[in-house]
Every structure is written in structure tokens, then in C-alpha cells.
Amino acid sequence: MIKYPSGIIVPPKKTKPMTRATTAANRGMGLEHDINLSNRHYNELGRALITKRPTPINVVKVDYSKGARITDAYFEKQSTTDYNGIYRGKYLDFEAKSTLSKSSFPLSNVSSHQFAHLENVLVQGGLAFFIVQFVNLGQTYLLPARDVIEYRKSAARQSLPLAFFKERGCLIEEGYAPRLDYLKAVEKLFFSR
């Protein structure tokens, strides 16, 4: 129970447990929302400027009689990543994904275009990483893209075990603001070595 200053007692919100029926699209929305809020927080503090790339949409038909209303369009596959920006003067670029699995993250969730993009970021001297949320564990990890790229090239298994995240990545602390303090994890993995 949360006791508000006014004395009104608000019962804790009953959240519907996530089921297997949750679609892949919806599943990621919680993570995306939390990252967007965290980015806004970082931006307000002047700590970083990180923005989400809009979802690419191919517009087929526009009705100008209705003030440029789009009447036919479809989602395109993102060929880059979801987020990029600047932190401590460095360019950073990352992809955010969530999974229902409790034990591993299937690499098939990431397109080869996205891997190529992250490799290019590394070539240019930027920071590249993944943020992966294990929804059913309630844990979110930051993992350097370099490690994932290496693993993908060498391992027979096309799925990253949870142990890999614990070993090479960093658990992201959750809180009120920022929701996901992923820059703390960036700090640990990229700036303190």
C-alpha cells in the first residue's frame, strides 16, 4: 500500500501477469518506454543526449484532402538500431530487445543488418551495445556489442545464455528516475577499464 500525503490510501495496482500470448511487438513496449523515460531524464540533467530512431514506415498512399492523412503504409525492417546519441563526448549506439526466455537470448532477434551497423559503429570508434530485458526474470542487462559479435561468429549455438550476460555484461539498476540507469552500466563497462 502506498500512503499518499493526503491520507488517501491507494491499493497497489494489480498488474496482469504477462502471458505467452503477448506479441513480440507489445512485449518490447515496456522496455522501450522505460528507456525513453530514462533518456528524457538524462537529457534534462544534461548528462547525455540519446534519442530513439522512429520506426521506419513505407508510406504508400496519402490522402491530401484530409490534411495529409496516410491511408496505406507498412512497417519496414529497421536496418540500423533503435537508439543512438552522445555521452561524455562519445558517440553511442544500441539496440534494445526483450525476451520471454528465462535462460537465453536468441540471436535471431537481431537482423544481420543490425549486426553490420554495430560493427560499423565499432570501426568508427563509437560505443556499441545491447540492452536485453529478460521479462520473466525481471532483469535487464547491458552487453557490449563486441562480445555479442564475437560470440555470433564463433559459437555453434545461435543463442546467448544468461550466464554470458552475467559474465560479460552488467545488470542494469532499476529505479524511479531514471527507470533504467543504463549509463551506470555504460560507465562500468566502457569507462572504468
Q: Which 16-55 residues touch a copy of itself, going by CB under 8 A? A: 43, 46, 48-49, 51, 53-55
Nearer to a copy of itself, 70 or 163 (CB): 70
Q: How far is the CB of 123 from a copy of itself (least distance, A)?
A: 6
Draw the binding track, 80-99, toward a copy of itself (x: CB under 8 A; -: no contact). x---xxxx-xxx-x------
Q: Which of 18, 72, 150, 166 binds a copy of itself (CB under 8 A)?
A: 72
Q: Which residues neighbour 192 within 8 Å (Cβ) at sequence distance 6 or greater?
A: none
Which residue's entry shows cell 559503429?
121
The DSSP secondary structure of 95-111, one letter per residue, reads EEEEES-SSEEEGGGS-
CB 158 within 8 A of CB 13: no
* CA nearest neighbour of 96 among 48, 50, 154: 50
CA torsion angle for 153, 158, 164, 165 (degrees, to 10)? 110
Counting contacts by CB under 8 A, is residue 191 touching a copy of itself?
no
Q: How far is the CB of 71 from a copy of itself (least distance, A)?
A: 6
Counting contacts by CB under 8 A, is residue 161 touching a copy of itself?
no
Query: d(Cα 82, Cα 89) in Å, to the nearest integer?
Result: 20
Q: What sign does the CA torsion over 185, 49, 98, 143 have? A: negative
Q: Which of 11, 12, 17, 125 binds a copy of itself (CB under 8 A)?
A: 125
Compute how many residues bind a copy of itself; rule: CB under 8 A: 35
**Residue ranges that bind a copy of itself, judged by CB under 8 A:** 43, 46, 48-49, 51, 53-57, 59, 68-75, 80, 84-87, 89-91, 93, 117, 120-121, 123-126
